[in-house]
Structure 1
Amino acid sequence: MRNPCHAVEADDLMTRPDPDVITGAPDRVCRQLEAVRALAPLIAGQRNDFDGGRRLPDAVFGALADAGLFRLWLPEALGGPELSPFEFMRVVEAASALDGSVGWLVGNGGGMSRIGGYVDKAVAGEWFSDPRAFIASSTGAVGTAIPVAGGYRLSGRWPFGSGAHHAMRFMVLASVRPEDPDSPLLCCYLGRADVTILDNWHVSGLRGTGSCDFEALDIFVPAAHAHPFLGLQPTQPGLLYRMPPSSVFAWSICGVPLGIASGAICSFAELASRKSRPGTRALLRDRETVQATVGRTRAMLRAARAFLSDAMRDLMAVNETGGERLVEARATIRIANANAAETAMSITDMLAASAGAAAIFETCGLERAARDAHAAAKHVAMSPNNYVIAGRLVLGLDAGTARF
């Protein structure tokens, strides 16, 4: 029998052509996608441990690192693949289709490898000399960075440190004048020994990400291990490192909800090929209403992805132009992120409703997909507030946020 998931997986994630602005050898991303595919049995075999441990098992995390999935945006000058934004999103989607927590950490870890394009080459070379290097980041709070000779004394507590239990380094936001809301923010990088991880990740979705709070008290951060949060100057020439950091940061995880939704369609197709509704022998897949739902979710998924890709094409095209066109492009990519998250939630909810009671069992892939999609959509990068920002700009107002 034909695999009901084949069309979804192959078309959406593995063989989908890239937009015409992709640069670099096409086999580069194919190797990454094959690495993701090869990890599917390991992930499936240990998935039940994700929720209980509230983090990825060491074997899974190590396999992701060994496959190079936490180095996707590391500059070529440092031995990384330096994927284009579109190549990056395809890999994150593919990982997220296998499991939302896996995709979330690939997006976060692979996304944070871009800091190799901002810090001094010698510093980045040291940090990424370990092939299993993973940098956890948090922008959900602001610590205090007191200037001292040679650097800063840093203190604070930061939430949502995805992958914290496996991280070798932590990126945090800090201010030299936290009492002043207009004070420029710094990105500071701490070693694992500098932080205390607080085991408070008790959540409904994305449980395997281990996104715990962590804190630091009066830790010295060398000046070479810090840079501005906004307006930073890249140390590498690639376009990726010249684009607005806030837009690139959001892009690093926007593929997660879409990947979860794609995986949910696959899970539903498999379920519908063997499950019948009570009181009838007809399989779910033979019902026209179910067929229409699956068709509609496919259209929704591809439309959301197309909007994201179109928004990124515009951002890349006008990055060097600046001015109002760049402002508009940055606002557009924000609403594309929000739309993708909302679409993913709708898709998983529609499929769960069609599956009936089967979708409430933890043994059903739809149960995990629904709660993971809803959890991912809560991230600030995909917040409905992005619509407010875009609307304000269209109406002739300012963005209404200092982080735009």
Structure 2
Amino acid sequence: MTNAPTLDTTDAAANGTLSFEDVLEHVALRREEFARQKFVPRDMIDEFKQIGIYRAATPHRFGGDALPPSEFLRMIERISAVDASAGWVTSFGSALVYLAALPLATQAELYKDSPDLVFAGGLFPVQPAEQVPGGLKITGQWKFASGCKGADILGVGIRGGDSTAGKPRTALLWPKDVEIVENWDVVGLSGTGSHELKVDGVVVPEDWTFIRGGTPTVDEPLYRYPSIAYAAQVLAVVNLGVGRAALDYAIKVGAGRTGITGAPKLADRAYYRIDLAKAEATLRSARAFFYEVTDEAYATVVAGDPVPDKLAALLRLSSTHVAKAGASAVHTAFQLSGTGAIYDGNAMQRYMREALVPPQHAFLGDGIYDSAGAVLMDIPPFPGFI
């Protein structure tokens, strides 16, 4: 779905009867609104809750779905094909896997009202935290808190200590205790609302902090899946959706009417068909690799075994590869589309802007190829890679 349909909006949302397809149509209708106001609004977040996005990584023991990663990733891929910003924001429905490292009592408190919990975090730069009676006193400002305006709980990155072996921690805060500094002004993924978080002297109990990727206290398969790799996957799959949308658009336009100059329509030109077919093959190949290793890794943890380092490295490698393959597909579709693609109203403009962003993320950069290659050849990668 690449063009906004005409939709007769009903009271389905209020009645809790929305289907996944309903929500995709609503996203298509409102994506320009998201980009213009620079965030996905709370009523849209509530619709995502209804279709299970924000219980997908909640433990079964707290009423959640704890979905296998490939099931969640496919949902984000489809949302991203309609709107990349909505896909990026919903991708953080996976972030509850981090919260599984909290004490069980803290998790029970978080989920006591509902398993549908929206978590957003601004984790960097990591800030010092002062030990005081009652916990840790938090002060500082953190970047890139995607989806923060619709979050139920927020996280900020703080320095660890002896108890964390020096690893940084995340401290959880309620939105009322955090100021959102609205400074998200970007070319692509403008609707993600990735503003900064500012906290001034709030005391957080230590039981409400956790090590990102730390040992989970919940014993369910999803929380044995490599959490850092999963964090990369949910971002990379956004570009898989954007690439799919761009190629679908190019196919639709290419099969259209003859141009005003009388030249053959695009579908009748060999170069158009050849390059489009190559892009299709490249994107589908990257997608197959991506889901193949995802399912292999999850089957490993379901069987009760740890994911081997080389398989974890393939999860990281396939994520970077699919993010770049998606961007390449968009670039090919844009080039093939000719002069029409340079106009603001052309869908290719949106696809180009969005596809530029995911490969810029630190989790998806070219350095991942180096580290993945190192692991495959039994050479230590950089710290924190797997």
Which residue is equivalent to 2:60?
A: 76
In the alignment, residue 138 of structure 1 is paired with which amino acid?
G
Aligned to 2:26: 42
**Structure 2 counterpart of 1:136:** 120
- SS of 2:157's equivalent? strand
Instruction: Sort the Cα spacing of 1:239 and 1:201 in 2 relative to 1 into closer, same or farther, 3 A.
Output: same
Q: Secondary structure at the match of 2:344?
A: coil
2:48–2:54 CA contact under 8 A, matched in 1: yes
Which residue, out of 263, 278, 282, partners 2:264? 282
Q: Which of 392, 396, 402 in structure 1 is aligned with 2:374?
A: 392
Greater shift in the superposed pair: 239-248 or 391-400: 391-400
Matched, 1:55 2:39: yes
Q: 2:249 aligns with which of 247, 267, 273?
A: 267
**Matching of residues 4-403 of structure 1 within 5 Å:** 35-108=19-92, 110-115=93-98, 117-128=100-111, 129-130=113-114, 133-176=117-160, 183-230=166-213, 232-274=214-256, 276-277=258-259, 279-316=261-298, 321=305, 326-394=308-376, 396-402=378-384
How far is 1:106 from its partner?
A: 1.1
Match of 1:18 in 2: none
**263-272 vs 377-386, which moves further:** 263-272
Distance 1:223 1:4 in 2: 46
**CA 38–328 in structure 1, closer or farther in 2 if over 3 Å, else same:** same
Match of 1:27 in 2: none
Give the equivalent residue in structure 2 for 1:9. none
Q: TM-score, normalised by structure 1?
A: 0.83
1:86-126 per-residue CA deviation (whole Å, 9 max, x = no partner) reads: 11111111111111011111111x11233453334443344
Contact 1:4/1:273 (<8 A) preserved: no
Q: 2-side partners of 1:45 and 1:400: how far apart?
A: 43
Query: In structure 2, how many angstroms separate the alpha carbons of the residues matched to 1:225 and 1:275?
Result: 60
In structure 2, distance between residues paired with 1:166 and 1:51: 15
Distance 1:337 1:38, change over 3 A: same
Classify the secondary structure of the residue corresponding to 2:123. strand
CA displacement, residues 117-154 of structure 1 (integer Å, 9 cap, x when unaligned)? 33344433443425763111233321222333442122
Structure 2: gaps (5+ residues): 4-17
The change in CA–CA distance for 1:131 and 1:326 in structure 2 (over 3 A counts) is closer
State the SS of the aligned residue for 1:262: helix
Contact 1:95–1:103 (CA<8 Å) still a contact in 2? Answer: yes
Task: Give the gaps of 5 or more residues in structure 1.
Answer: 6-33
User: Could you tell me how far apart the structure 2 residues matched to 1:136 and 1:71 are?
Assistant: 14
The 1-side partners of 2:339 and 2:53 are apart by 36
When normalised by structure 2's length, the TM-score is: 0.86
Q: Give the letter for the 2:315 counterpart.
A: I
Cα distance change on mapping 1:376 and 1:347 into 2, 3 Å: same
CA distance in 2, matches of 1:204, 1:264: 18
Deviations 1:189-230 (A, max 9, x none): 111022111111100100110111112122211122112224
Deviation, structure 1 residue 317 = 5.2
Q: CA deviation at 1:161?
A: 0.5
Which segment is superposed worse, 49-58 or 121-130? 121-130
Whole-Å separation in 2 of the counterparts to 1:114 and 1:394: 26
1:363-403, CA deviations, whole angstroms, 9 ceiling, x for partnerless residues?
Answer: 22221112111112211221111012123334554212345
% identical aligned pairs: 24
SS in 2 for 1:398: coil
8 Å contact from structure 2 (residues 317, 369) kept in 1: yes
Specify the code of the residue in structure 1 equivalent to 2:22.
A
Q: Secondary structure of the residue that 1:42 maps to in structure 2? A: helix
Distance 1:222 1:306 in 2: 44
Opposite residue 261 of structure 1, the aligned amino acid is G
SS in 2 for 1:203: coil
**Residues 168 and 212 of structure 2 are in contact (CA less than 8 Å); yes or no, is this contact kept in structure 1?**
yes
For 1:299-340, what per-residue CA distance to the aligned partner results, in whole angstroms no more than 9, with x for missing partners?
Answer: 112111111123224433555655xx7222222211111111
Write the distance in 2 (CA, Å) between the matches of 1:4 and 1:78: 36
Cα deviation, residue 185, structure 1: 1.2
Work out the CA distance in 2 between the residues paired with 1:303 and 1:75. Answer: 32
Counterpart CA distance in 1 for 2:139 and 2:124 is 15
1:55/1:392 Cα in 2 relative to 1: closer, same or farther (>3 Å)? same
Report the count of equivalent residues: 368
